[in-house]
Homo-oligomer: A and B are copies of this chain.
Amino acid sequence: MQLTDGQRLDWLRLIRSEGVGPRTFRTLINRFGGAGAALEALPTLTGRSGRRITPPSRAEAEDEIAAAARLGARLVALGEGDYPKLLQAADSAPPLIAIRGEAAILNRPAIAIVGSRNASAAGLAFTERLARGLGEAGLVVVSGLARGIDARAHRAALEPGTAAVLAGGQDRIYPANHAALVEAILEAGGAVLAEMPMGWEPRGRDFPRRNRIISGLAYGTVVVEAARRSGSLITARFALEQGREVFAVPGSPLDPRAEGTNDLIRQGATLVAEVAHVTKAIAPLLEEGTRKQGGGFEQGADTLALDRPDLAEGSIF
């Protein structure tokens, strides 16, 4: 499936409308048969707040596409060939995602590595060993570009290819001093993804939201170090809900950075102490290939997928 330029513009206007998240987008598309028809109907609908939903103008959407293009980012729609297949199989997959770099690597088997920003030296060293080994095993390493574990994972997997998922827009890299890392990822043939619009500064709630994309891109998520109630545990929860593998690296019970990972292992996550613990666990999945591939909305999908309500920015029905 490939959207026309006009359809892409409609999709963008619809998903950028206030109160429309992936779930509402899907509901509207299913109800009206397409983004164009949904946009036409939008003025007659009210959201939960009682306010009318006004989509951004055609010009505003064109501006976003142009701004993305200037940065080398393309807006890829769910169902299109370049849309990551594993992500597409996940609930609440973003209808449109801005991709910089080599979209093709997003359809190679991937593993997410996430963890503390405030990582220990041992945690960083193990991350490096793990990311390098997974890369050598032919896996793409996905992470969130954060300080600490994430950045180390990306750096160690530059050569085989790594993918970073941003919480803000493509032009709002966070933390800002990781702009050079983004360039290194792109130069090495990796990819950088963003669900949020150009110019969007990431807020706190955008990070957990972003984490479902990290886990959704991968056969499994490895949590290297995580305190209790940390964002990495949210990524692990998403992985579990998406039916993906959850891996955790153990640590001393006296180290608060291991509390979250040790908890995960007690809850059934696979303990990872070496690269083979990951590769062996996902080998059967790789043979199986992408088990489930969602179709595009515009091709007449008439089933209403059950998305996560807590991820929609607000439902209008």
Chain A interface residues (CB < 8 Å from chain B): 122-123, 125-126, 249-255, 258-259, 262-263, 265-266, 270-274, 277
The one of B122, B125, B265, B277 in contact with A250, judged by C-beta atoms closer than 8 angstroms, is B265
| 13 A-B pairs whose Cβ atoms sit less than 8 Å apart in the complex | A123-B252, A126-B254, A249-B252, A250-B250, A250-B258, A250-B265, A250-B271, A251-B251, A253-B272, A253-B273, A258-B273, A262-B271, A266-B270
How many angstroms between the C-alpha atoms of A273 and B266 in the bound complex? 9
- Beta-carbon nearest neighbor of A249 in chain B: B253
Check A125 against B265 for contact (C-beta < 8 Å): no
How many angstroms between the C-alpha atoms of A277 and B267 in the bound complex? 12
* A145 CB, nearest partner CB in chain B, Å: 24
* A226 CB, nearest partner CB in chain B, Å: 13
Max chain B CB contacts within 10 Å: which of A122, A263, A271, A277?
A: A271
- Beta-carbon nearest neighbor of A263 in chain B: B273
How many angstroms between the C-alpha atoms of A126 and B125 in the bound complex? 24
* A256 CB, nearest partner CB in chain B, Å: 11
* In the complex, chain B residues whose CB is within 8 Å of the CB of A125: 254
* In the complex, chain B residues whose CB is within 8 Å of the CB of A258: 250, 252, 273
